[in-house]
Structure 1
Amino acid sequence: MTVNSEPTPQSAPQPAPRVRSANIRDVAKMAGVSHQTVSRVINGHPSLREGTRQRVLDAMEALQFRPNRAARSLVTSRSHMIGVLVTDGTYFGPASTRAAIESAAAAAGYLVDTATLTSLDEAAFKEALERLIDHAVEGLIILAPQETTLRQLRHLSVQLPMVTVHSTSAADDHGLSVDQVAGARLATRHLLDLGHRNIAHVAGPDGWVESKERVRGFRTELAAWGVDAFRIAAGDWTSDSGFRIGEELFAANAPTAVFSANDQMALGLMHACRERGLRIPEDVSLVGFDDIPDAAHFAPPLTTVRQDFTELGRRCVAHLLAQLDVPVRDAPRTVVPELIVRQSTAAPR
């Protein structure tokens, strides 16, 4: 006779015991010191023997202990947070500078809190600024290269240490920049040296400091050679605007050379040249500005002005930390651009 036995109920799987993160007392126990000593090491207290400090640091590493930033700020009254106010992070220059700021800040033990302006009016500017201040940032970096935002900043009473990234030639206590006038003169001088005299400039949009300064550099260099501008037309930094301007510019009585205020508009100008049956550089020489990563792979590779955004970001952080009494290597306030000559420029036929 077969006896059907009931199946033995399976016990439910038990969750694995939760591993507790190491705390300051665990570090103290491993290092053989008091938890007050560990706290002094975390907060950079100077009156500690180097051997004691190293034992604590070794214990922190072995236990993978990371000090709680919020708790640390309560003790030190330092948030180790930098605020960055940016108008538009999609353009190559501001995006590259912002990435460099984050990298340099991290190397110095700081975090970056970014606020992006939704518009250029005063209310949006004040709201973004107040949000950063409410987050207890220790200092501000302003990536807002429009004349409107710089005017608003001057009218507001901001008590925090601050660095502004812009390209105006007017000196102030906060500003850092790439020398846009010098860069535009380099581009224009290169075309003049090649023998061009009918040179057009496709400028950036009105209201941008970079646009104004590059036009000024273009006019200044032409005047030094006794040459008049063939034409100046304003785009909006996009390839589409470069193409639209190029369609009209190359329709009849075309210039022999064009200086474009950025590489993206230069790409649109190249397209317009091909549509009109013009060759670069045989019929038209073309110089851009920025040296975006793709510029070396345009057809033909683009002669352009390189801005060192990595260095600009590093200097922003260095100057801000210097205001916060953090020892840093000093650096000039102006980054000098460099002309990169490729195959898009040649002597006129």
Structure 2
Amino acid sequence: MKLTETYRQAKLELQRTVESRRAQRVGKFLLGPNLNDGLIAKTIMIVLLSVIAFLYVKPILYMISTSVKSLEDLIDPVVGLIPRSLHIQNYLDAWKGLRYPEAFTNTFIIAFFGSLFQVFSCALTGYALARLRIPGKTLVFVLVLITFLVPPEITMIPLYMIYSKLGWLNTPLVFLVPALLAQGMRGALFIIIFRQFFLAQPKALEEAAKIDGASVFRLFFRIMLPLAGSACLVVFLFSFVWYWNMHMEPSMFLSKGFTPLSLRLNELSVQLLGNKSMSLSVAVGKDPISEGPKMAAAFLIILPPLIVYLIAQRWFTEGIERTGLVE
């Protein structure tokens, strides 16, 4: 009897041990060792990120869907994101209404060369503020911060008067010359980025170069600027996208003649207003006749920077990490 009871007790203890180990394994699998490595935490994160991604992607999906819808699909409330048929005529109308090749060239000249000039000028200014001993350097940096904090609407009228006297209105000079002088679109922010990057570099590099007889400019162009490749890429991409999408500044300085895509979109909207002939547009707050071409035009405008970002995505992410923008 004692042997039987001992056997039963040992069997029960063994079952409890096995069940406890199973429970621990299930707990580790569901919760993880650090609570954020388990299945539950990962599922919550995936669901949360999927919802956020959908909220960001939904407007683009709506834009693409509307751009290929016919008038019947736009009027029919039953049709959702997927149209019954692809209506490519919207893109042909948008291409013609935007005068896309000419407007694309104008926008590319401003965005590409403005970004290129800003990378060079802001890198040079940031290096000077970070490394060189200049009288009044702190005051200059404070002034840079002030230009970053002052809203651009305050300086719009004085700039318009200056550009008018110089004869730069309706020419790309209103954007390229300030970019060459480190005062282009968000120039103060880029100066701060370069300054923080150069401050983080070891001084031993400069000391070794100076011992070898390198001048300040040679030190900057041969050593410091190549090291700042990640920062240059981040500044170039940010600057390119902001120059490409800007609207308020071109509407003031490029009202006629040399007009970018953002202003051509306004002109296209005005042209399409003449097609309003349906009372339905008043009821729903938008014109179904012009909605397709406008969405097609908007997609044609955002497509080039989207392609640029997709190509440079990996280097852009690495540049963000190295320049410390995440912090």
* TM-score exceeds 0.5: no
Higher strand share: 1
Indicate the TM-score class for this superposition, using the shorter chain for normalisation: under 0.3
Query: RCO (CA 8 Å, sep 6+): is it higher in 1 or 2?
Result: 2
User: TM-score, length-normalised on structure 1?
Assistant: 0.23
User: TM-score, length-normalised on structure 2?
Assistant: 0.24
